[in-house]
């Protein structure tokens, strides 16, 4: 029987992917700490209720990230894994896009991850824990209009690679999943007429995350796992 982390923090729990991850991990027996940007997330809609809900958490603020980790330790005694699903996407050409777009993409896609990993690192050292962050295919090769977004996601990959190396002496694993377009209501509205059969579902991405957290992936660290469907 495959085993999973006992206490897992899932950031971005209000999102399509984050809520799916919360439900899947809870069904696998994990105690899920669901972290929301809003004061109260829609956790009642999850297939299984989280063990702890933390709301009003702006993870771009180091103090807020530290408070999330502290609350999890206080309530559940330990942290065994972090799943960081927080992120954002925006298009902007090099000619038209300003520094504000770069700063926004950097803040939501990288700074939040830096803050959360820093906040949970001591607990993961104690538990020999695991990190999974959500990258993106453009982090490997940017398309037109994606310089700011792809740049931030590429920096996230470098962060996870460094975490994997620094975590070796503490048996901490760190990996990313690289989804293509995820089939969500928001993406369908933004791309009407697209062949959604080539997209990946939140459930498919969540399964990849759960695998990387599980004991079955105990030998995997520093990897970037594509979840690209048929796209």
84-113, pLDDT tens digit by residue? 999 999 999 998 878 999 999 999 999 999
Q: Residue 181: is its pLDDT beyond 60?
A: yes
Q: Which backbone phi and psi does 186 adopt, to 5 degrees? A: -65, -45
Reported as a pLDDT band with limits 50, 70 and 90, residue 38 is confident
Name the fold adopted by 7-227: Rossmann fold (3.40.50)
Q: Which residues, 6+ apart, have CB-to-CB distance to 178 below 8 Å?
A: 135, 136, 137, 139, 140, 224, 225, 226, 227, 228
How confident is the model over 21-40, as a mean pLDDT? 91
Q: Residue 208 has what pLDDT? A: 98
- What letter would DSSP give residue 109? I
For the ranges 41-55, 73-87, 135-149, the lowest mean pLDDT is seen at 41-55
Q: Annotate 188-223 with b (16+ C-beta within 10 A) or e (fewer).
A: eeeeeeeeeeebbbbebbbbbbbbbbbeebeeebbb
**pTM for the model:** 0.95
- Sheet with strand 224-227: strands edge to edge: 52-54, 31-35, 7-11, 81-84, 130-134, 173-179, 224-227
Could you give the 3-state DSSP secondary structure of residue 23?
Answer: helix
Reported as a pLDDT band with limits 50, 70 and 90, residue 60 is very high
């Amino acid at each position: 029987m495959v085993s999973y982390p006992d206490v897992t923090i899932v950031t971005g729990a209000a999102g399509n992917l984050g809520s799916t991850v919360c439900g899947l991990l809870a069904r696998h027996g994990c105690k899920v700490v669901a972290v929301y940007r809003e004061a109260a997330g829609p956790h009642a809609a999850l297939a299984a209720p989280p063990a702890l809900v933390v709301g009003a958490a702006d993870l771009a603020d180091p103090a807020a990230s530290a408070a999330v980790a502290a609350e999890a330790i206080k309530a559940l005694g330990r942290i065994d894994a972090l799943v960081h699903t927080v992120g954002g996407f925006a298009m902007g050409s090099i000619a038209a896009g300003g520094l504000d777009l770069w700063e926004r993409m950097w803040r939501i896609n990288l700074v939040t991850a830096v803050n959360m990993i820093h906040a949970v690192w001591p607990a993961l050292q104690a538990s020999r824990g695991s990190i999974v962050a959500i990258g993106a295919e453009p982090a490997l090769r940017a398309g037109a209009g994606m310089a700011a977004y792809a740049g931030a996601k590429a920096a996230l990959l470098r962060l996870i690679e460094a975490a994997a190396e620094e975590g070796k002496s503490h048996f901490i694993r760190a990996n990313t999943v690289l989804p293509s377009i995820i089939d969500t209501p928001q993406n369908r509205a933004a791309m009407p007429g697209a062949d959604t059969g080539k997209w990946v579902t939140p459930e498919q991405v969540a399964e990849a995350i759960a695998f990387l957290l599980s004991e079955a992936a105990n030998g995997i660290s520093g990897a970037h796992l594509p979840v690209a469907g048929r796209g």
